[in-house]
Amino acid sequence: MHSVPLSQLRPGERGSILRIESIDPQLRQRLLEMGLTKGTLLEVIRLAPLGDPLEISVRGYRLSLRKHEAESVLVETAR
């Protein structure tokens, strides 16, 4: 197990959220309220055709976020 930013996961890879490191409080709050809390499992589904943003599956729904935003989400992954 080791921790990487969400932006580095490839499609199909899963992870569990460790923490959100964003310094932008609004972005952080938004991510948390969308259900990206500590310990939540997520999976990267796909990248947009031009490589950014990415689509993840979390709490049973699909969310897209930019790589820049995904950089602040630290996840623990089995890879």
Partner 1 sequence: MMKSASKVVAVIGNPNSGKSTLFNALTGMRQKVGNYPGVTVEKKEGSILYDDGTEILIIDLPGTYSLTANSPDERIATDVLLGRRNDTPKPSLVICVVDASNLERNLYLVSQLIDRQIPVLIALNMVDVASQEGMKVDAAKLSALLDVPVVPTVATHSTGIAELKFRLLGSVRPSQQTRKWKLPVTVAEQVSELQEILRRTEKTDENESYQNALQLLTSPAVGTNSHAPELQAEIEKAIKKFESEGIDRFSVVVEARYDWIKSLAGQVVEYRVQSEERLSDKLDAVLTHKVWGFVIFFGLMTLMFQTIFTWANVPMQWIGSAFSWLGGQVAAVLPPSSARDLIVNGAIAGVGAVVTFLPQIVFLFLFLGLLEDTGYMARAAFIMDRTMSKVGLHGKAFIPMLSSFACAIPGIMATRTIESPKDRLVTILVSPLMSCSARLPVYTLMIAAFIPQETVWGFLSLSGLVLVSMYMLGLFAALGSAWLFKKTLLKSAPPIFIMELPPYRIPSARSVLMHMWNRALQFLKRAGTIILAVSIALWFLASYPKKEHATPSEQLEYSFAGQAGKLLEPIIKPLGFDWKIGIGLIGSLLQREVFVSTMGTIYNIRDANNDSGNHTLREQMRNEVDPITGKPTFTALTAICLMVYYVLAMQCMSTVAVVRRETNSWRWPIFQIAYMTALAWVGTFAVYRIGLFF
8 vs 28, beta carbon nearer partner 1: 28
CB of residue 13 to partner 1, shortest distance in Å: 17
By the 10 Å C-beta count (0-12 exposed, 13-18 middle, 19+ buried), 44 is classed as: buried
Structure token pair of residue 31: 């991510």
Least separation in angstroms between residue 78's CB and partner 1 is: 22
What are the backbone angles phi and psi of residue 7, rounded to the nearest 5°?
A: -60, -20
Binding site for partner 1 (CB under 8 A): 19-20, 24-35, 37-38, 40, 45-46, 48-53, 55, 59-66, 68-69
Q: How far is the CB of 34 from partner 1 (least distance, A)?
A: 6
| Cβ–Cβ < 8 Å for 39, 17 | yes
Whether the Cβ atoms of residue 45 and residue 11 lie closer than 8 Å to each other: yes
**Closer CB to partner 1, residue 9 or residue 31?**
31
